[in-house]
Structure 1
């Protein structure tokens, strides 16, 4: 959404709280001890179990446990469960076909054929004794039963015995990503498929076009596709992964507004006012060519997405229709003498709906423009996504025959504002809101609530540069858990958000969630000592765990500190402090070789929170600490991450030749074409082997070839091992940013910020191609920089 939506949003700071708990060790001591006679309390899950009857004692999971399925229809769910258990435990868990009679202690049975109609398609029942049975009526219900078990095993190998019945309140629960304004890598999207499924969220809305980008490959109209975009194969792969995790992927291609990239390539279709003002994002609906172009878009992408829905956007088009008399002329010629200019827009919505329905899908559209015609009403088979309390009320849309979903900006919006990220308002969302409470405190009657499909968390990237993918993932973590609880609609395990944060900490991330540790960060995973902790949920170790969603929080005094032991004396040129809302107004960064005598390498009395990326430091030491001197709030000091870096081996702006095993990175044939895959070749003095290294300010570098003027890039922004290393027009994107990571055997790995993979030569022979591969420290990944 653009200006109107941006003005409408309320900036509410995201509450970034608590941590993911680490993986379990199979066979280790159980986290939950058996209770002698008292019934077991309802275990911690997100969302909470709808019904629970506690038993006594506990089930114990081990490497000998088996997954038993009673029908071939559960083969995919069983396999996915085994893969996730491998991510959690490191063990290959056996899966077999069988029935309850084949179970032994420690086994988990997945079973279909439940006669409990209240469970519906997504519900399941659990019976937990010395073995576990998941009973469901549908594969989806059995799958959600496995998500509950994963969450319980994340907390320890012992699970309290008892029985449960569980099902969802709302059929749609999910996440929307504004991939139009900000490019999100395929890997980020794949990571969030598994994260959504872990929370029993089932809907992934990809907003693929907006005023800053068109982010999906087009073979019909490549002229308007942004340089950073998803290929059709990447989308197909994402859809397949989502289907495996019971998630529906819904595309949105926004029209007739927010079409800036498309209209930049087709300026003749821009809407022009009666004063001659050109609107660069509105297509002129009075022109037949506008419909031809939009139909081309729909015809290309409707077959790509196999799901039941297609979102046409239809938001924030014209507000002053009097300024565009051509729309009224068109509407009256098309729809009759009673038509007004708004009918041109409403007629478009119905026209688009006809194309979507002809493909066997259902149309979805934002609510803000769906009213105000005099000759046209919107077809009631369009699902209305209600985000803005303008025009018709939610109840009126329902009365008109529509299904609706609640996309209220409070509390579901996370927005990249010019001043930084804001939202979602997770505390209010958990404590007060429910998915039948719409924007502007509007409600719907009880009889209509079954026609409200649910809600989602929304990522809007109005100013895409203010946050990285990693920051966004950290900021939305807790909001997703609020959405999961409220849309599942089960009785809350705890009454307040402040108590819910401890549940979030216990459940953590899904077992396959990647570490966000930054390449070259000397503090990652190192031993930490702290002067105090606010609560056990916020230990010092969380400031060096590579996860920007977790944090250390101190006691409420000025002189608190956190110290990292690097293991040996290191030169230090950069320290990065990522603060939570409780930050240091005054603090020192100090180093020490013995942990006793300290030297300050940075001092401030004017800290302003956010991220303090302290570069140009000069010091060394085995120990590094943040020594607080003045708190900025009544709370203590709270750090999401405490990062430490050694000096870079290269000078920003200097030119280097990069070599490994006697070969240099080379642009073959001195090519100047974008997309040329880079190779290695015997070193020489040609400019096709010379690269200007430029620091990006975030610890990464871009590498621009002197001859071609193009930058070293990962083909298509891929996050997949084996993707080609190419040269491409310099964009500054994450797939052109490289971290220099010192290798134990000498040299430096060039690690992509986007994928976390390292530039690797296939062989040490002339012409060997460069690809990205996992960084193992192998010889053909270790590069020497020689200034030329």
Structure 2
């Protein structure tokens, strides 16, 4: 699709005065009114249980981190880590001590026998209790990981406070619902620096994610001209053993690098799962030993008919298993030719027990439906990533006796900047609203917390090895959904249903300590002031690809868009949550615009009534439709005829409450000619405008009829814009008070001014300095 064409100097617009809720006179406050009970702190992921108290605990320059005498080495290390992290985030550096906590102190302790509510027995080591009471904070972990997670909640609660030094009094009992809360990164096809990986380990711990799988070898999918000798491939672990000299890519990880990853992972309660993938995706091994490849070495599949092939892979696992401190090694085993199932089964049944003999548990990509029809006859001592419902869906894997990790490709794969598998990143709102670890789609959903469902692991695959993008560009794609995934893997329900509120929490807590290398682009969502559709649930008749979901039309981002399939009668609809009054819809079309379309409302999302129409539109850009105020919960854009051979594509679908200035009496200091009267600034028509004479101190004012509350004014300037101007109110249209100012504006287009809520009958735009040699001109 082409980007949106540029409109001419005439930009569609309106003057919008956003109404406030009615303000009632408060009742007299009783002399001894009870202090309100504290709400749960806004942490990510949200707490499973919270019992609020009153008041706050404040950390000070004399606060200490208190641990028991004789505390274990991990608890001592965590106390020192918490001290430095507190300093990084707040400027306070509490000392570490033993003994009894005093006012302002933080006490850390591990107690497996503590009360962690309904936490599953097997997950109690990751549970914790945080109690802020009697002037100090106590964190009790069911294990070292649980204690660490309690400190994440502490730090996030402090960041969410107005003073960045306190947290609310109350008690949290928190625990995960799933054992595996993971992320997989393909470093085989694209090298990621140690700085990036260590930063991710910090970020994952901050979000209580606990498993990072690194896919350590792979190759491009199709070689140039069918010649695998020209294919880009890599194995990333650099051994000093002469027997493996030349196996690793020049960009790889030394034992020192890997030890650094393991230490960072341990400090942030993350387990590393190294993946060495064979017998497919094995071009790096074949390049090292050409005799081990199918088709005389012109392949990325190992030749399992040769005993030397299995022996070589045993030697690889034996060489690197001592590097890995975690309990699990992933052996790959995906996407091998199905006609070689017998050889493949023999390989799996040899390698899996061999890796276990090295002291490691075994994980693998689920492949057994394609490779033999079921898991019958395959080694059962593995956990399976169910990555594709056809290759091996979760129900088949569980029926065959395996535990499952949800890595479903259609829901959880990102292939950066490709044309498949969420190339622009997963949609965070969709994850938050519609996904949970038991959701696989295609009729394969499991029951929530199925005992054989270990958890989930979304994945980034760098299939497009020849594209030019950086690791930090990958990060911007991952960042869109990482917090939402963390929330749903910790608890699919504790985060509630308000995605806007969730994003506000994400922006407040940030990415945590140790992540300065990673750009943090999540901001508190604002959208266009007054937009009722901003980040509301949205559905569409279709999408062109997964890269253009319906949610992008209401995400407040002017560069993302929804795009439909290439046919006429497509639609997109938004659920405002409750019956809501509105009178204006602003559509911003990409180059694939609609020619003919209706706006329709519905009380139930089923029965629709047309409230506005557009016929014969000929350009992309912004279309503002103003209509008789309507109150309804659901609003739909129903396409009738496309304007191009593509589908329909919207950058934004914005909905606004009735414009208080719409068709109200309006006067101005002057008009350029009779063709541009003041009334055209409030007529709801995006193509008509008021224009003043060519001097500076011109004004336009509107009479709202009665004193009315408002806090937002939206001005849309024609090319003859104002550079400096004031907004002024008046009770009588004579005496004016300035409530907002703009200085130094340099462009035409829309200017939204938001200010302290004001109640007044008259509102005036008082020009001070023009931006051009013309006058002032407002659409």
TM-score > 0.5 by shorter chain: yes
Tell me, in whole angstroms, the C-alpha distance in 1 between the residues paired with 2:462 and 2:591. 24
2:127 is equivalent to residue 123 of structure 1: yes
Tell me, in whole angstroms, the C-alpha distance in 1 between the residues paired with 2:560 and 2:203. 32
Tell me, in whole angstroms, the C-alpha distance in 2 between the residues paired with 1:143 and 1:608. 50
Q: Which one is further off, 491-500 or 129-138?
A: 491-500
Superposed CA offset, 1:689-746 (max 9, x none): xxxxxxxxxxxxxxxxxxxxxxxxxxxxxxxxxxxxxxxxxxxxxxxxxxxxxxxxxx
Q: Are the aligned partners of 2:589 and 2:651 in contact in 1 as well (CA < 8 Å)?
A: no
Displacement, 1:635?
6.2
1:162 aligned counterpart, secondary structure: strand
Displacement, 1:281?
0.6
Equivalent residue runs for 1:625-664 within 5 Å: 633-634=651-652
Displacement, 1:450?
2.0
Equivalent residue runs for 1:325-336 within 5 Å: none
Equivalent residue runs for 1:111-150 within 5 Å: 111-113=109-111, 114-116=113-115, 118=117, 119=119, 120-129=124-133, 130-150=135-155
Tell me, in whole angstroms, the C-alpha distance in 2 between the residues paired with 1:553 and 1:200. 27
Displacement, 1:37?
1.7
Q: Which residue in the other structure is 1:411 paired with?
A: 411
Displacement, 1:259?
0.8
2:224 is equivalent to residue 201 of structure 1: no
Q: Which one is further off, 436-445 or 171-180?
A: 436-445
Tell me, in whole angstroms, the C-alpha distance in 2 between the residues paired with 1:556 and 1:415. 34
2:222 is equivalent to residue 214 of structure 1: no
2:194 to 172, 178, 186: 186
Q: Are the aligned partners of 1:67 and 1:78 in contact in 2 as well (CA < 8 Å)?
A: yes
Q: Which residue in the other structure is 1:265 paired with?
A: 288
Tell me, in whole angstroms, the C-alpha distance in 1 between the residues paired with 2:50 and 2:529. 39
Q: Are the aligned partners of 1:313 and 1:365 in contact in 2 as well (CA < 8 Å)?
A: yes
Displacement, 1:127?
1.2
2:349 is equivalent to residue 354 of structure 1: no
What is the RMSD computed on CA atoms of the aligned residues? 3.1
Q: Are the aligned partners of 2:79 and 2:96 in contact in 1 as well (CA < 8 Å)?
A: yes
Tell me, in whole angstroms, the C-alpha distance in 1 between the residues paired with 2:357 and 2:181. 26
Superposed CA offset, 1:237-258 (max 9, x none): 1101211222111100110000
Q: Is the alpha carbon distance of 1:581 and 1:343 closer, same or farther for their aligned partners in structure 2, counting shifts above 3 Å?
A: farther
1:72 aligned counterpart, secondary structure: coil
Q: Is the alpha carbon distance of 1:439 and 1:455 closer, same or farther for their aligned partners in structure 2, counting shifts above 3 Å?
A: same
Superposed CA offset, 1:79-137 (max 9, x none): 22112112112333201112xxx222211111222432645111111111221111223
2:287 is equivalent to residue 285 of structure 1: no
Q: Is the alpha carbon distance of 1:93 and 1:134 closer, same or farther for their aligned partners in structure 2, counting shifts above 3 Å?
A: same
Structure 2 residue runs of 5 or longer lacking an equivalent are: 1-32, 220-232, 531-554, 562-587, 593-620, 624-649, 655-779
Q: Are the aligned partners of 1:584 and 1:630 in contact in 2 as well (CA < 8 Å)?
A: no
Tell me, in whole angstroms, the C-alpha distance in 1 between the residues paired with 2:529 and 2:443. 37
Q: Is the alpha carbon distance of 1:463 and 1:36 closer, same or farther for their aligned partners in structure 2, counting shifts above 3 Å?
A: farther
Tell me, in whole angstroms, the C-alpha distance in 1 between the residues paired with 2:272 and 2:375. 34
Q: Are the aligned partners of 1:515 and 1:547 in contact in 2 as well (CA < 8 Å)?
A: no
In the superposition, the TM-score normalised over structure 2's length comes to: 0.59
Higher relative contact order (CA 8 A, sep 6+): 2
2:247 to 224, 234, 244: 224
Q: Are the aligned partners of 1:68 and 1:97 in contact in 2 as well (CA < 8 Å)?
A: yes
2:377 is equivalent to residue 387 of structure 1: no
Tell me, in whole angstroms, the C-alpha distance in 1 between the residues paired with 2:210 and 2:501. 26
Q: Which residue in the other structure is 2:400 paired with?
A: 400
2:460 is equivalent to residue 459 of structure 1: yes
Q: Is the alpha carbon distance of 1:425 and 1:490 closer, same or farther for their aligned partners in structure 2, counting shifts above 3 Å?
A: closer
Q: Are the aligned partners of 1:51 and 1:165 in contact in 2 as well (CA < 8 Å)?
A: yes
Q: Which residue in the other structure is 2:323 paired with?
A: 304
Q: Are the aligned partners of 2:45 and 2:483 in contact in 1 as well (CA < 8 Å)?
A: yes
Equivalent residue runs for 1:742-761 within 5 Å: none
1:282 aligned counterpart, secondary structure: coil
2:269 is equivalent to residue 246 of structure 1: yes
Tell me, in whole angstroms, the C-alpha distance in 2 between the residues paired with 1:440 and 1:183. 34
Q: Is the alpha carbon distance of 1:141 and 1:583 closer, same or farther for their aligned partners in structure 2, counting shifts above 3 Å?
A: closer
In the superposition, the TM-score normalised over structure 1's length comes to: 0.58
Greater gyration radius: 2
1:487 to 472, 489, 495: 489
Tell me, in whole angstroms, the C-alpha distance in 1 between the residues paired with 2:103 and 2:416. 50
Q: Is the alpha carbon distance of 1:398 and 1:221 closer, same or farther for their aligned partners in structure 2, counting shifts above 3 Å?
A: same
Structure 1 residue runs of 5 or longer lacking an equivalent are: 1-34, 322-340, 517-545, 558-578, 586-604, 610-628, 637-788
Q: Is the alpha carbon distance of 1:210 and 1:439 closer, same or farther for their aligned partners in structure 2, counting shifts above 3 Å?
A: farther
Displacement, 1:42?
1.6
Displacement, 1:286?
0.2
